[in-house]
A and B are shown apart, each in its own frame.
Chain A
Amino acid sequence: MKLTLKIWKQQDAHSKGKFVTYSLDSISPNCSFLEMLDILNEQLIRKNEEPVAFDHDCREGICGTCSLYINGRPHGPDDAITTCQLHMRKFKDGDTIIIEPWRAKPFPVVKDLIVDRAAFDKIIQEGGYISVNTGGAAEANQILVSKVNAELSMDAAACIGCGACVAACKNASAMLFVSAKVSHFALLPQGKIEAKDRVKKMVAMMDQLGFGNCTNTYACEAECPKLISRSNIARMNREFICAKVS
Chain B
Amino acid sequence: MADLNAKIPSGPLTGKWTQYKNHQNLVNPANKRKLDVIIVGTGLAGASAAASLGEMGFNVKIFCYQDSPRRAHSIAAQGGINAAKNYPNDGDNIYRLFYDTIKGGDYRSRESNVYRLAEVSNNIIDQCVAQGVPFAREYGGSLENRSFGGAQVSRTFFARGQTGQQLLLGAYSALSRQLKMGTVKLFNRHEMLELVIVDGKARGIIARDLVTGKLERHFGHAVVIATGGYGNVFYLSTNAMGSNVSACWQVFKKGAWFANPCFTQIHPTCIPVHGDYQSKLTLMSESLRNDGRIWVPKNKEDAEKHRKGLIKAKDIREEDRDYYLERRYPAYGNLVPRDVASRAAKERCDAGYGVGSTGLAVFLDFEESIKRLGRHVIEERYGNLFQMYEKIVDENPYENPMMIYPAVHYTMGGIWVDYELMTTIPGLYALGEANYSDHGANRLGASALMQGLADGYFVLPYTIQNYLSGEIRIPRMSTDKNEFVEAENTVRERINKLMSVKGTKSVDHFHKELGKIMWEFVGMGRNEAGLKKAIELIRALRTEFWKDVRITGGIEELNPELEKASRVADFLEMGELLALDALNRNESCGGHFREEYQTNEGECLRNDQDFMYVAAWEFLKEGEFKLNKEPLKYEEIEVKQRIYK
Residues from 44 to 96 in A contacting B, C-beta threshold 8 Å: 44-46, 48-51, 53, 55-65, 78, 80-81, 85, 87, 89
- The reply to whether A28 and B275 form a contact with Cβ atoms under 8 Å apart is yes
Residue A190 lies at the interface, judged by CB distance under 8 Å to chain B: yes
Residue B76 lies at the interface, judged by CB distance under 8 Å to chain A: yes
- The reply to whether B279 and A38 form a contact with Cβ atoms under 8 Å apart is yes
- The reply to whether B67 and A118 form a contact with Cβ atoms under 8 Å apart is yes
Complex contacts, A30 vs chain B, CB 8 Å: 274-275, 394
Q: A42-B508, A140-B85, A141-B87 are in contact. Are A147 and B129 (CB under 8 A)?
A: no
- The distance from the CB of B66 to the nearest CB of chain A, in whole angstroms, is 6
- The reply to whether B123 and A48 form a contact with Cβ atoms under 8 Å apart is no
- The distance from the CB of A42 to the nearest CB of chain B, in whole angstroms, is 6
- The distance from the CB of A228 to the nearest CB of chain B, in whole angstroms, is 13
- The reply to whether A154 and B134 form a contact with Cβ atoms under 8 Å apart is yes
Complex contacts, A114 vs chain B, CB 8 Å: 558
Residue A144 lies at the interface, judged by CB distance under 8 Å to chain B: yes
- The reply to whether B561 and A45 form a contact with Cβ atoms under 8 Å apart is yes
- The reply to whether A116 and B67 form a contact with Cβ atoms under 8 Å apart is yes
- The reply to whether B162 and A158 form a contact with Cβ atoms under 8 Å apart is yes
Q: A60-B388, A85-B392, A150-B134 are in contact. Are A125 and B176 (CB under 8 A)?
A: yes
Complex contacts, B558 vs chain A, CB 8 Å: 12, 53, 110-111, 114
- The reply to whether A60 and B282 form a contact with Cβ atoms under 8 Å apart is yes
C-alpha spacing A116/B238, complex, angstroms = 26
Complex contacts, B89 vs chain A, CB 8 Å: none
- The reply to whether B71 and A50 form a contact with Cβ atoms under 8 Å apart is no
Q: A30-B275, A58-B73, A154-B134 are in contact. Are A65 and B67 (CB under 8 A)?
A: yes
- The distance from the CB of A126 to the nearest CB of chain B, in whole angstroms, is 7
Complex contacts, A211 vs chain B, CB 8 Å: none
Q: A62-B75, A118-B188, A147-B137 are in contact. Are A134 and B52 (CB under 8 A)?
A: yes
- The reply to whether A146 and B68 form a contact with Cβ atoms under 8 Å apart is no
- The reply to whether A132 and B131 form a contact with Cβ atoms under 8 Å apart is yes
C-alpha spacing A64/B106, complex, angstroms = 36
- The reply to whether B141 and A135 form a contact with Cβ atoms under 8 Å apart is no
Complex contacts, B137 vs chain A, CB 8 Å: 144-147, 150-151
> What mask results when residues 113 to 144 of chain A are scored 1 for a CB within 8 Å of chain B, else 0?
01011101100111011111111011111011
Residue B108 lies at the interface, judged by CB distance under 8 Å to chain A: no
Residues from 379 to 410 in B contacting A, C-beta threshold 8 Å: 387-388, 391-392, 394
- The distance from the CB of A182 to the nearest CB of chain B, in whole angstroms, is 12
CB nearest neighbor in A for B126: A137
- The reply to whether A190 and B129 form a contact with Cβ atoms under 8 Å apart is yes
Residue A3 lies at the interface, judged by CB distance under 8 Å to chain B: no
Residue A34 lies at the interface, judged by CB distance under 8 Å to chain B: yes
- The answer, among A12, A38, A59, A118, for a CB contact under 8 Å with B508, is A38
C-alpha spacing A61/B560, complex, angstroms = 20
> What mask results when residues 188 to 219 of chain B are scored 1 for a CB within 8 Å of chain A, else 0?
10000000000000000000000100000000
Complex contacts, B51 vs chain A, CB 8 Å: 134
- The answer, among A116, A117, A125, A141, for a CB contact under 8 Å with B179, is A125
Complex contacts, A42 vs chain B, CB 8 Å: 506, 508-509
Q: A48-B550, A57-B71 are in contact. Are A141 and B143 (CB under 8 A)?
A: yes
- The reply to whether B126 and A39 form a contact with Cβ atoms under 8 Å apart is no
Residue B367 lies at the interface, judged by CB distance under 8 Å to chain A: no
Complex contacts, A39 vs chain B, CB 8 Å: 277
- The distance from the CB of B67 to the nearest CB of chain A, in whole angstroms, is 6
Residue A35 lies at the interface, judged by CB distance under 8 Å to chain B: yes
- The answer, among B127, B140, B142, B180, for a CB contact under 8 Å with A137, is B127
C-alpha spacing A51/B278, complex, angstroms = 18
Complex contacts, B69 vs chain A, CB 8 Å: 121
- The reply to whether B130 and A56 form a contact with Cβ atoms under 8 Å apart is no
- The reply to whether A138 and B66 form a contact with Cβ atoms under 8 Å apart is no
Q: A60-B283, A125-B179, A129-B177 are in contact. Are A188 and B134 (CB under 8 A)?
A: yes
- The answer, among B73, B132, B278, B282, for a CB contact under 8 Å with A63, is B73
Complex contacts, B279 vs chain A, CB 8 Å: 32, 34-35, 38, 59
- The reply to whether B48 and A59 form a contact with Cβ atoms under 8 Å apart is no
- The distance from the CB of A243 to the nearest CB of chain B, in whole angstroms, is 18
CB nearest neighbor in A for B173: A129
- The distance from the CB of B56 to the nearest CB of chain A, in whole angstroms, is 8
C-alpha spacing A102/B587, complex, angstroms = 53
- The reply to whether B388 and A85 form a contact with Cβ atoms under 8 Å apart is yes
- The answer, among A44, A120, A141, A184, for a CB contact under 8 Å with B132, is A184
CB nearest neighbor in A for B122: A140
- The reply to whether B174 and A60 form a contact with Cβ atoms under 8 Å apart is no
Complex contacts, B71 vs chain A, CB 8 Å: 57-58, 63-65
- The reply to whether B48 and A134 form a contact with Cβ atoms under 8 Å apart is yes
Complex contacts, B172 vs chain A, CB 8 Å: 124
- The reply to whether A56 and B241 form a contact with Cβ atoms under 8 Å apart is yes
Q: A12-B558, A124-B176, A190-B129 are in contact. Are A161 and B70 (CB under 8 A)?
A: yes
- The answer, among A46, A61, A118, A134, for a CB contact under 8 Å with B461, is A134
C-alpha spacing A49/B188, complex, angstroms = 28
Q: A50-B553, A129-B176, A145-B141 are in contact. Are A134 and B457 (CB under 8 A)?
A: yes
| Most chain B CB neighbours (cut-off 10 Å) among A11, A32, A41 | A32
C-alpha spacing A225/B561, complex, angstroms = 28
Residue A153 lies at the interface, judged by CB distance under 8 Å to chain B: yes
- The distance from the CB of B408 to the nearest CB of chain A, in whole angstroms, is 14
- The answer, among B134, B391, B561, for a CB contact under 8 Å with A51, is B561
C-alpha spacing A125/B135, complex, angstroms = 23
- The reply to whether A63 and B277 form a contact with Cβ atoms under 8 Å apart is no
Residues from 126 to 178 in B contacting A, C-beta threshold 8 Å: 126-132, 134-143, 159-160, 162, 165-166, 169, 172-174, 176-177
- The answer, among B70, B136, B141, B162, for a CB contact under 8 Å with A144, is B141
> What mask results when residues 479 to 510 of chain B are scored 1 for a CB within 8 Å of chain A, else 0?
00000000000000000000000001010110
The 4 lowest CB-CB distance pairs between A and B, nearest first, are: A144-B141, A129-B173, A137-B130, A59-B280
A–B Cβ pairs within 8 angstroms, 26 of them? A44-B552, A45-B506, A45-B561, A51-B552, A58-B75, A63-B71, A63-B76, A64-B71, A110-B558, A121-B69, A121-B179, A125-B176, A130-B173, A132-B130, A135-B123, A140-B128, A141-B143, A143-B129, A144-B141, A147-B139, A154-B160, A154-B166, A157-B169, A158-B160, A158-B162, A185-B132
B residues sitting closer than 8 Å to A (CB atoms) are: 48, 51-52, 55, 66-73, 75-76, 85, 87, 122-123, 125-132, 134-143, 159-160, 162, 165-166, 169, 172-174, 176-177, 179-180, 186, 188, 211, 238, 240-242, 274-275, 277-280, 282-283, 387-388, 391-392, 394, 457-458, 461, 504, 506, 508-509, 550, 552-553, 557-558, 560-561
Known: A45-B561, A51-B561, A58-B71. 10 other contacts (CB 8 A): A12-B557, A31-B277, A51-B552, A56-B241, A81-B391, A118-B67, A125-B179, A129-B177, A139-B126, A188-B132
A residues sitting closer than 8 Å to B (CB atoms) are: 11-12, 28, 30-32, 34-35, 38-39, 41-42, 44-46, 48-51, 53, 55-65, 78, 80-81, 85, 87, 89, 110-111, 114, 116-118, 120-121, 124-126, 128-135, 137-141, 143-147, 150-151, 153-154, 157-158, 160-161, 184-185, 188, 190-191
